[in-house]
Amino acid sequence: MADDESTAKKIFTDVRVIVMLALVIFSILSIYVLPPAFDKGVEGNIQLGLDLQGGSWVQLSFQSEVVRFSSPTMSADALAQKIWDKAGIEAVAVSDDKIEIRKLLTQEEVENLFNEIGDVKLVAYTQGVSKETADDVKRILEDKVNNLGTQDAKINTISGSNNVATYIRIELAGTDISTAQDLVSSQGKFEIRIVTEGNETAHVLYGDSVTSVSRPSQSPPGSGSWGVAFTLSEDGAKALRDACIQYGATKEPEKHYLNMYLDGEQVYDAPLSSDLATKLLTGTVNDLRASTGMGDDGLEKAQVLEIHLRAGALPVDVTTAGLGSVSAQMGDYFKFVCIIAALLALGAVGVTVYLRYHEPSIVLPMLLTNIAELIILLGFSRYVQQLDLASIAGLIAVIGTGIDQLIVVTDEVLHEGKVPSPNVYLKRFKRALVIITVAAATVIFAMVPLILMDLSTLKGFAIITILGVLVGVIVTRPAYGKIIMAILSKKPAKEISSDSKDE
């Protein structure tokens, strides 16, 4: 009894074991208590993908192209302006020799347009959008999803090797196809109002008067002051001028704020600049700029404001390239199969370890450490990753790789069937940690491309696998080393079998 108490004391007073147990408790609290989620079943707060919960997915194709050109006299910005002047098609510069044409044209049509402009030659043609535009589209869709409270959503762009995004895929767990399509195509109600006096405001114009919205930029360039430029139609510019004159904003601009609302919620407010007020006294102004502040905070606010000014409209047209759904019943079936697969994996691991060592005091700590690792992973995934079938596959893979590394630790520290002296033990244990750290680094390097290559169906697998490797190397392997030392140090040599040999 005294030996058991001493062993337990050695285990539960070690800082590595305490850290592991603390993370297990934190993970359980995250899943079920922060916030309370006892009514959500076994998954608690864990976000389930549409594979496990049921839902819909929509894949959109961008109606645009990125082209490379050559011209001895014309810059990318100049060519974009020429395209607008010649054909009334919006185009933006991507790099010194690339532009994005925001209307779907065939390669032949682009060549004909360049011939009409003159002094420019088409070098390469790829349907899709630039990475910057794809990020804008993703941000706008994420904003829509968040505004509707649809948190269980995954939005991923699909790009080729030339960094041109061709598709964007939206997965909405618990959402039917009709709602998913409406979400993609819907626009909000955007309104600008002017402060008249006190807290009173008056309507100025709606979002249909905003004809174009530019990307966030610094003005002057390099100043660090961010903002969003936008253009009003003639009617919108006249409505703005009339309101500013009527309510005295041209005389006292600092007292008359322009407030912007999206679906009734205020998203921006700022007074007129004195320069704009002076210009409005003499005529209408179509080109406006909303300043959002300095530095990273100003950039973030500018990116959000750009979305609001567009009222949820995407910068390029899209068409549905594919859609589908998973029924809730099928999701329940997948959940059941995943649970069975995880239990079978744990059972198979337990039998394999027992056949190797024939010692329950080794098998039980290994399995409990593996289970602790899974709980920690599930707790972390509650914050960083939806659980879909690919993520579950990553969890099951972690069970196998985790046990493999625990076997490496066990074999390294055993010496003629028992734990050696503390100095030899530490030497062997450090050697084991070096081995599993190198193996972990190899796994991480193998998984990183799956995260970076826009393979949305495999990204969850890669993220969970990397998290599992990091949790194992940093937390559970060191804790297991202490546990196994405390347990095996009191065992006679004849009780334990191992293939390890002393140096």
Q: Point out which residues pair with 319 in neighbouring strands.
A: 61
Residue 25 has pLDDT above 60, yes or no: yes
- The residues spanned by each domain of the chain are 2-53+327-495, 56-173+316-323, 190-311
Kindly report, residue by residue over 190-246, the tens digit of the pLDDT: 888 988 887 888 988 888 888 888 888 888 888 888 998 888 989 999 999 999 988
Residue 275 has pLDDT above 80, yes or no: yes
- Report angle CA 414, 418, 424 to the nearest 5 degrees: 60
Q: Residue 457: what pLDDT?
A: 66
Kindly report, residue by residue over 394-437, the tens digit of the pLDDT: 888 888 888 888 888 888 777 655 566 777 777 888 888 888 89
What is the pTM for the complete model shown?
0.63
- Residue percentage of the chain with pLDDT more than 70: 89
Residue 291 has pLDDT above 80, yes or no: yes
Q: Return the top range by mean pLDDT from 11-20, 45-54, 189-198, 318-327.
A: 11-20
Q: Residue 408: what pLDDT?
A: 85
User: Is residue 391 within 8 Å of residue 385, measured between CB atoms?
Assistant: yes
Residue 250 has pLDDT above 90, yes or no: no
Residue 261 has pLDDT above 80, yes or no: yes
Residue 319 has pLDDT above 60, yes or no: yes
Tell me the pLDDT of the chain averaged across its residues.
82
Instruction: Match 């909303």 to its residue by tokens.
Output: 290
Kindly report, residue by residue over 465-486, the tens digit of the pLDDT: 999 999 999 999 999 988 888 8
- pLDDT bracket for residue 499 (50, 70, 90): very low
Q: Residue 324: what pLDDT?
A: 82
Nearest to 304 by CA among 272, 258, 262: 262
Q: Which residues contact 36 (CB under 8 A, 6 or more apart)?
A: none
CA distance 79 to 121: 11
User: Is residue 244 within 8 Å of residue 237, measured between CB atoms?
Assistant: no
Structure tokens at 151: 């948190």
Phi, psi of 384 (to 5 degrees): -120, -15
Q: Residue 122: what pLDDT?
A: 93
β-strands 217-218, 210-213 pairing: unpaired
CATH topology of domain 190-311: Gyrase A; domain 2 (3.30.1360)
- pLDDT bracket for residue 502 (50, 70, 90): very low
> Span 2-53+327-495: which CATH code?
1.20.1640.10
Kindly report, residue by residue over 144-158, the tens digit of the pLDDT: 776 555 555 778 888
